[in-house]
Amino acid sequence: MTEEIKEPWKRDTNNKYSEVVKTIMGLSTASLLLPVFMAREFLGIGTKTSLADVLGCSIYWAWSLLALSIFASIFFLYLSAKWIRIAWGKEAGIFWKKNTSESIVEILMEISFWVCILLFGSGLFLTIMFFVNYENGL
């Protein structure tokens, strides 16, 4: 006995959004290492100089925002699995709630989707601003 998905468009839509989130998660992870490599390779900071002395507050904020973007991405993927479960007509609970409504899952997915994108963009902006200001001697 094979079950059919009740709403197949949800699976297709979910796959497209999940690919975007996975891309953002990968870019956020790579961006965490960006300041270290850029400082050593392109700014000419030698290995004898501690990066803690060179990296400014904006880099630490950028790392925090990028890490939060990764967590928001993971949360989106968690919700994504719940949303597909609902599309199959099954119950799907989030954390402590046994059966979460579809509308709540969709709202949380929407929020986590945009949060991961905005946090990534903000973290990348702060990283770029650090390098622009460092090059200008500010």
Domain boundaries, the chain: 17-42+51-135
Q: Taking the CB of residue 94, how many other CB atoms lie within 10 A of it?
A: 16
pTM score, two decimals? 0.84
| Of 13, 6, 3, 8, nearest in space to 80 by CA | 13
pLDDT tens-digit series, residues 52-80: 777 778 899 999 999 999 999 999 999 99
CA-closest candidate to residue 17, choices 127, 110, 120: 110
Q: What is the pLDDT of residue 135?
A: 63
Per-residue pLDDT reduced to its tens digit, 109-128: 999 999 999 999 999 999 98
Tokens of 55: 């990296």
